[in-house]
Amino acid sequence: MTTTHHVAELARELSRSLTEMRSYLRRHMQCKIKEHQLDISFELVEILAYLWRKDGVNQQEIADIIIKDKSSTTYLIDNLVKRDLVKRVEDGNDRRNKLIYLTPEGRLLQEKFYPPVIALFETATQGIQVAAMEKAILLINKMNDNLKQSL
């Protein structure tokens, strides 16, 4: 096996491990959602999680953060609006924009989800050093830069 193929193999393996991790995270969150008997999907919680940190952002920002395309984001935000968890507000500075704000109900959900989310990440990172994680992030971000530039 040449070096090239070895690297390709590692990249493939990395991609697979990443997919697996994503899958586990999703499953765990689904368990939490069930425990709390909440009628909400993992994908909606994902958006809410970002809004809990900072709301009043436009849809494109949300799409960038959660790595989904515009139409998926519209679909999910429509859903959140329907459940009265967020509201859309026109942006006075740029009429193309819709700013997404949490409603009081949307904020309340944070109490239910914040501790389990933290616990989940703690579980995931048990026995792993901060420095190692930082290196992994840098590596993947480097890969993402490489891929981004060739699109």
Tokens of 63: 């799409």
Binding residue for a copy of itself (CB under 8 A) from 25, 38, 40, 81? 25
Could you tell me the strand order of the sheet in which 98-102 lies?
A: 57-58, 98-102, 86-90
x/- string (CB under 7 A) for DNA, residues 86-115? --x-----xxxxxx----------------
Q: Which residues of 90-124 are buried (b: 16+ CB within 10 A; e: fewer)?
A: eeeeeeebbbbebeeebeebbebbeebbeebeeee
Backbone angles phi, psi at 98, to 5 degrees: -120, 125
Scan residues 5-64 and list those touching DNA (CB under 7 A).
23, 26-27, 30, 34, 41, 43-44, 58-61, 63
Q: Does 18 bind a copy of itself (CB under 8 A)?
A: yes
Applying CB under 8 A, which residues contact a copy of itself? 3-8, 10-25, 27-28, 31, 65-67, 117-118, 121-128, 130, 132-137, 139-144, 146-148, 150-151
